[in-house]
A and B are shown apart, each in its own frame.
Chain A
Amino acid sequence: MHPLIRYVIVLAAVPVFTTAAVHAHKSPSPDRNAQAKAVMEASFQAKGQAGMDRLDQDKTQALCSLHAPAAPPAGAAAKVLAANQAMVKLPSDGKFLGDWKRGQAIAEEGKGEQYSDDPTKPSGGNCYACHELDKQQIAYGTIGPSLYHYGKNRGRSEPMLKLTWSMLYDMKGYTVCSAMPRFGSKGILTEQQLKDVMALLYDPDSPVNK
């Protein structure tokens, strides 16, 4: 493992919870998730591509729900974090960067995985919902940090590319309860789409770096 990645893991193991813990809460009952799920099972119906299995939680989701809005205990968080790290698949041909123009379209596209969406069409990344990327698009959200000048500020060293790829692939390997979806691990974006988005972040010609 590259030292930079290891450093990020150690950093991320310190529980960071992005959805604010501003309200006082008593410690939750251990079957809080199960109780919520039982009610939800009775309250939903499958529709379109969204089957009832969407109500099932994996380990990351369960951990981050059980204690929310408080951060999960450090020990449990470190374990889940490591498991998510292990999910990351680097590009099969070793090339991290695709076409930034296609990446821009993916970053703009909000459709994908909703029951109202066409499952035969590729999903978008909807990066602009949460991030500022280039100065032309002013309709950007603020749940995530600004990514303007992302590549320009970071250079294009192999470790840097690998780190960003891994974050896009599975942000929960870095911030266990991040608001950002796991685009690779959850199969939201394909390998090619991830490369295109990477190019949007890193290509010197991309408006992100202008």
Chain B
Amino acid sequence: MRLKIGKLTFWLTIVAGAGTSLAGSLVWAQTAPDPVAEYRAMFGDDNPAVLWTLRGQDLWKEVRGSKHVSLAKSCDLGMGTGIIKGAYAHLPRYFADTKKVQDMESRLLTCMVDGQGMDKAAILKNRFGEGDRKSDLEALAAYVVDASNGVAISLPLEHPEEKRAYALGKAIFFYRAGTHDFSCASCHGQVGKRIRLQQLPDLAGPGKDARDTYATWPAYRVSQGEVRTMEWRIGDCFRQQRLPQLKYGSEAAIDLTMFLAKNAEGGKMAAPGLKR
């Protein structure tokens, strides 16, 4: 991790300011030139997500909640208590303690609520950061995923519940509904298509698009000045699909993530990414 915090914080203020006005004008599609390319031209490969990663590291180690325990001493993301290296590359997975398949976001919630005794409503209220109000979940997500950098995505689907989650995720991916008849596949079912100028990755099955996309989330969104996770991405695409609001940590989010992750198998994690 290459740190240039001073410079980054400075630019971040500018970018976040620009981001707010840009985000307001974004509808389905954006007509401005590629903001990620512009960003790279100005700042090079520095990713402001590093600030989230550092805050996440503090949060991971901090003793918090009514149970006075740190996540580092109590949270199992599937690799054993406190172990984050490679964890993201093998999520979602079945957890025996909750008897559920969980993705990173829902598992972090379990660790914070059941493990640390923190208030679930308060965490969820703050699930997506904005401006000065930062999200603990997004910071922790950045820290956790950073520790999987270079690790190959692998989901053997050994547990029947994992197989079930994948099959349901696939069914949801192709489920057309709403005023516009869209499913995920309407926009992500072919290679090389775009909406306005935005490239649409083909996420309907295994392939390079599926790997490159999944490997780069969570990501710092230049247009929003925040780190966003896959749950945010999926939720916002459901909004564009004209469906109601996806609940955070819900089964549809986890099942879809399982489908996307399995299609990305073999890809090497390279997150937090940098997105427009």
Contacts and interface: CB of A to CB of B under 8 A. Distances in A.
Q: Do A and B bind each other?
A: yes
Interface of A: 18-20, 22-23, 28, 32-33, 35-37, 39-40, 42-47, 50-52, 54-57, 60-61, 64-65, 68-69, 109-111, 113-116, 126, 128-130, 138-143, 172, 179, 181-182, 186-188
B266 interface: no
B244 A52 contact: yes
- Which 7 residue pairs are nearest across A and B when measured between Cβ atoms? A23-B205, A19-B189, A110-B27, A43-B252, A43-B250, A36-B171, A68-B174
B255 A39 contact: yes
B180 A181 contact: yes
B245 A140 contact: no
A44 B244 contact: yes
A56 B244 CA distance: 11
Contacts, number: 166
* Interface SS, B side: loop
B27 A61 contact: no
Given A19-B189, A39-B172, A43-B253, A114 B244 contact: no
Nearest to B255: A39
B181 A40 contact: no
B245 A64 contact: no
Given A43-B253, A110-B29, 13 more contacts: A28-B171, A33-B171, A33-B175, A44-B238, A45-B247, A50-B243, A50-B244, A52-B244, A54-B242, A55-B243, A69-B185, A129-B29, A181-B182
B177 A57 contact: yes
Contact of A186 (B29, B179, B187, B200): B179
Nearest to A45: B245
Contacts of A55: 177-178, 243-244
Contacts of B28: 110, 126, 129
Nearest to B239: A114
B204 A54 contact: no
A56 B85 CA distance: 41
A44 B206 CA distance: 27
Given A50-B244, A142-B193, A37 B29 contact: no
A69 B189 contact: yes
Contacts of B46: none
26 contacts: A19-B186, A20-B204, A23-B204, A33-B175, A36-B172, A39-B255, A40-B175, A42-B252, A44-B238, A44-B244, A46-B244, A50-B242, A51-B244, A54-B179, A54-B243, A57-B175, A65-B176, A69-B185, A69-B204, A110-B28, A126-B29, A128-B196, A141-B29, A141-B194, A143-B187, A187-B179
Contacts of B194: 141-143
